[in-house]
Amino acid sequence: MANTKSAIKAARKSLRNAARNQATKTRLKSLGKAAKKATAGTDAEASRAAAIAYISALDRAVKANVIHRNAASNHKAQYAKVIFAKK
């Protein structure tokens, strides 16, 4: 248990940040699954829209320090390959 005022505040803040990060990661996973499902289909416009939504969410997660920028870059590169191949 925290002993000082600052440690108590840090513990509260840690719980808030963990909840925010978990929500962001869950959203990323569901958008990733939707993008993967859309790219498996034949509709190029739907797969493009799903990939753009996923890439945008990745960028926001990087900005909030939820995921590492290199990990996001790897995911973005994979979906960029799929999008340009479908053109």
For 72, the domain range is 27-86
pLDDT at 84 over 80: no
pLDDT at 87: 62
Which is more confident, 65 or 87? 65
Q: Is residue 13 part of a domain?
A: no
Residue 38 falls inside a structural domain: yes
pLDDT of residue 8: 93
For residue 26, count CB atoms less than 10 angstroms from its CB and return exposed for 0-12, middle for 13-18, buried for 19 or more: exposed
pLDDT recorded at residue 63: 96
The count of structural domains within the chain is: 1
Structure tokens at 67: 């995921």
- Tell me the pLDDT tens digit for each residue of 9-64: 999 999 999 999 999 999 999 999 999 999 888 888 888 899 999 999 999 999 99
Residue 49 lies in a domain: yes
- Angle value at C-alpha 77, between 76 and 78, nearest 5 degrees: 90
9 domain-assigned: no
